[in-house]
Chain A
Amino acid sequence: AQSVTQPDIHITVSEGASLELRCNYSYGATPYLFWYVQSPGQGLQLLLKYFSGDTLVQGIKGFEAEFKRSQSSFNLRKPSVHWSDAAEYFCAVAALSSASKIIFGSGTRLSIRP
């Protein structure tokens, strides 16, 4: 069965600094991979997804993620964070055979230092 690990529970970065959130997955083949963001009191919003092809995926709000098969990783990056990026970020995975069944990681809470 597939699973997702987000090793960082909480990260604080300064406004304007770069960001990288880590995600490792466990699955026998290349799965579908996702990053979601959850702002306080709001539902989850899809930032980006990877199915196949180019391993560098561009998403909304200036985020990107890179799929690295050799490391079973799908890290999320942003070159310069804004205070409005403070939120909870979830990495998620789905099997190709049941792509509507998404398995979420435990999340990384991002705080922004002024």
Chain B
Amino acid sequence: EAGVAQSPRYKIIEKRQSVAFWCNPISGHATLYWYQQILGQGPKLLIQFQNNGVVDDSQLPKDRFSAERLKGVDSTLKIQPAKLEDSAVYLCASGKSGGSSYNEQFFGPGTRLTVL
């Protein structure tokens, strides 16, 4: 089965510009996650979707970050405007089921964002 797909793989922008990342989860997976991984740190959850609804966005900087999963399949994460500290790898993951019970997450290769 195909894995989690992400694009682009790399993106370089200047501060105050906008950027969008795309994620296509594994077919049939109801849950989708976006993580931010800053260099030298572990991934940090930004937002979790269950189908097209948001389950947890408590760590999403909502003044500049937004995410959507309109049809409950693929998802986009947007940053507007970008800051230098947004330079990171943005990882998308998906899982079969949802709710609070354990749900193995399968990760995509990530998008490496550099903000100059």
Residues of A within 8 A of B (CB): 4, 9, 32, 41-46, 51, 90, 92, 94, 97-102, 104-107
Contacts and interface: CB of A to CB of B under 8 A. Distances in A.
Contact of A99 (B42, B56, B100): B100
Interface of B: 3-4, 31, 40-45, 48, 55-56, 91, 93, 95, 98-110
A46 B104 contact: yes
A101 B40 contact: no
A90 B31 CA distance: 22
Contact of A100 (B31, B40, B43): B31
Contacts of B91: 43-44
Nearest to A95: B100
Contact of A42 (B40, B43, B100, B109): B109
Contacts of B106: 43
Contacts of A41: 109
Contacts of B105: 46, 100, 102
A100 B101 contact: yes
A102 B45 contact: yes
Nearest to B105: A102
Contacts of A90: 42-43
Contacts of A98: 100
Contacts of A4: 42
Contact of B103 (A45, A51, A100): A100
14 contacts: A41-B109, A43-B93, A43-B110, A44-B107, A94-B102, A99-B102, A100-B55, A100-B100, A100-B101, A100-B105, A102-B105, A104-B43, A104-B44, A106-B41
Nearest to B58: A101
Given A90-B42, A105-B42, A107-B42, A43 B31 contact: no
